[in-house]
């Protein structure tokens, strides 16, 4: 979060940016709610706003949503709603840790607040979160655990999935060679396009060589270790039409890091998932799917 507070300071230092937003006279704004700076911008320009959160809602208590620890998993706990005694202890400890972490994150923006808001009217981020007219969350009731919500919190998950289009002839020819075995999609999302570690690539490639399915692997050709000779059933691509491939009749499996959008697309198309979580919300996403 330190880089976000630094960017926020740079944004506010350019007063023309804030002034131009004020002068536009917008009726309402839709902001990306992961970055605390967007709330400070809205407070500065004095406009109502709708907050959009791109994944599992971190710290719902910040806007007054209760989270009973007996059956609502805390972000970062990696547990389900069916908890053993020790998992409830783990959930409670994660809850305490998350609130300490939240305070630390908010403190990173104290300098921005002190420099840009007059004494006596300086907001706290915890107050600003509650000013949103509406919260839009990129999750869906069908792929989340039961939990309390408030009337101004709306789940809109899976707005990227759609009916598949035909894939390119090159891909179709590769897929057709698989026969009844079908094919597997391997992708670790836009934030992790490739893993240059030779051990990782060797293990994955060696495993793929032992299966009968074709493998379409989103992996930058330029990042592939030259020491690794690709298995004959593996095709590397810098980018894949993921939604269209998931809707293909011969798809058998999605191997993914657990990004929320990939998982929602897999559910939409009814494709089994093998999850390899790496960081962030990915563990918590996967236990929900």
- pTM (two decimals): 0.86
Q: DSSP code of 164?
A: P
Check which CATH number belongs to the domain holding 193 and give it: 3.40.50.2000
* Residues 181 and 74 both lie in one domain: no
* Residues 45 and 182 both lie in one domain: no
- The range of the structural domain enclosing residue 217 comes to 169-286
Instruction: Determine, yes or no, domain membership for 164.
Output: no
Rg of the chain in Å (alpha carbons): 22
Whole-number Å distance between alpha carbons of 75 and 19: 37
* pLDDT at site 217: 94
* Residues 259 and 176 both lie in one domain: yes
Query: Could you tell me the CA-to-CA distances from 268 to 76, 121, 142, 146, 200 in Å, in that order?
Result: 25, 47, 11, 20, 30
Q: What is the pLDDT of residues 16-34, one digit of tens each?
A: 888 898 888 889 999 999 9
* Residues 71 and 97 both lie in one domain: yes
253 is written with which tokens?
């499996």
Sheet holding 29-32, edge to edge: 29-32, 49-53, 134-137, 153-155
Instruction: Give the CA-trace dihedral at 76, 137, 156, 151, to 10 degrees.
Output: 120
* Residues 180 and 255 both lie in one domain: yes
Q: What is the pLDDT of residues 247-258, one digit of tens each?
A: 999 999 999 999
8 is written with which tokens?
């926020």
Check whether 284 has a pLDDT greater than 80.
Answer: yes
Three-state DSSP class for residue 197: coil
- Cβ(180)–Cβ(155) below 8 Å: no
Helix then strand then coil, % of the chain, to nearest 5: 40, 15, 45
Please report which helix (H) or strand (E) contains residue 217, including its range: strand 214-218
* Residues 89 and 124 both lie in one domain: yes
Residue bearing tokens 């704004």: 29
Maximum distance among all Cα pairs of the chain, rounded to whole angstroms: 71
H-type helices in 71-119, by residue range? 85-107, 110-116
Indicate the pLDDT class of residue 191, thresholds 50, 70 and 90: low
Q: Which residues contact 102 (CB under 8 A, 6 or more apart)?
A: 59, 62
Please calculate the CA angle 193-195-196 and round it to the nearest 5 degrees. Answer: 125
Instruction: Determine, yes or no, domain membership for 99.
Output: yes
Q: How many domains does the chain have?
A: 2
Q: DSSP code of 213?
A: S
Check whether 193 has a pLDDT greater than 60.
Answer: no
Q: What is the pLDDT of residues 71-96, one digit of tens each?
A: 999 999 999 999 999 999 999 999 99
* pLDDT at site 129: 94
Q: Which residues contact 200 (CB under 8 A, 6 or more apart)?
A: none
Instruction: Determine, yes or no, domain membership for 162.
Output: no
Average pLDDT for residues 97-109, to the nearest whole number? Answer: 90
CA count, 13 A, side-chain hemisphere, 59: 19
List the one residue out of 136, 137, 236, 138 whose CA is nearest residue 186: 236
Instruction: Determine, yes or no, domain membership for 161.
Output: no
* Residues 174 and 267 both lie in one domain: yes
* Residues 207 and 182 both lie in one domain: yes
């Amino acid at each position: 979060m330190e880089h976000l507070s630094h960017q926020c300071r740079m944004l506010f230092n350019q007063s023309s940016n804030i002034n131009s937003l004020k002068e536009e006279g917008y009726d309402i704004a839709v902001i990306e709610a992961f970055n605390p700076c967007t709330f400070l911008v809205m407070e500065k320009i004095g406009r109502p706003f709708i907050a959009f959160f791109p994944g599992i809602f971190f710290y719902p208590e910040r806007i007054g949503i209760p989270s009973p620890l007996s059956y609502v998993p805390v972000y970062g706990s990696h547990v389900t709603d069916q908890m053993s005694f020790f998992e409830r202890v783990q959930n409670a400890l994660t809850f305490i840790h998350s609130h300490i972490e939240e305070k630390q994150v908010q403190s990173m923006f104290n300098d921005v607040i002190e420099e840009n808001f007059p004494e006596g009217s300086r907001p706290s981020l915890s107050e600003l979160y509650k000013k949103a007219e509406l919260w839009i969350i990129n999750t869906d009731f069908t792929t989340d655990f039961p939990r309390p919500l408030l009337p101004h919190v709306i789940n809109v998950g899976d707005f990227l999935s759609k009916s598949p289009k035909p894939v390119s002839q090159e891909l179709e020819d590769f897929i057709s060679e698989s026969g009844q075995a079908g094919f597997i999609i391997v992708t670790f999302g836009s934030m992790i396009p490739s893993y240059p570690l030779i051990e990782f690539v060797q293990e994955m490639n060696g495993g793929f060589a032992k299966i009968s399915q074709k493998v379409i692997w989103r992996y930058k050709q330029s990042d592939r270790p030259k020491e690794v000779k690709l298995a004959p059933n593996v095709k590397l691509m810098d980018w894949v039409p993921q939604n269209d491939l998931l809707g293909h009749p011969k798809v058998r499996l999605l191997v993914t890091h657990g990004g929320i959008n990939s998982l929602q697309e897999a559910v939409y198309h009814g494709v089994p998932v093998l999850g390899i979580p790496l960081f962030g919300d990915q563990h918590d996403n996967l236990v929900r799917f």
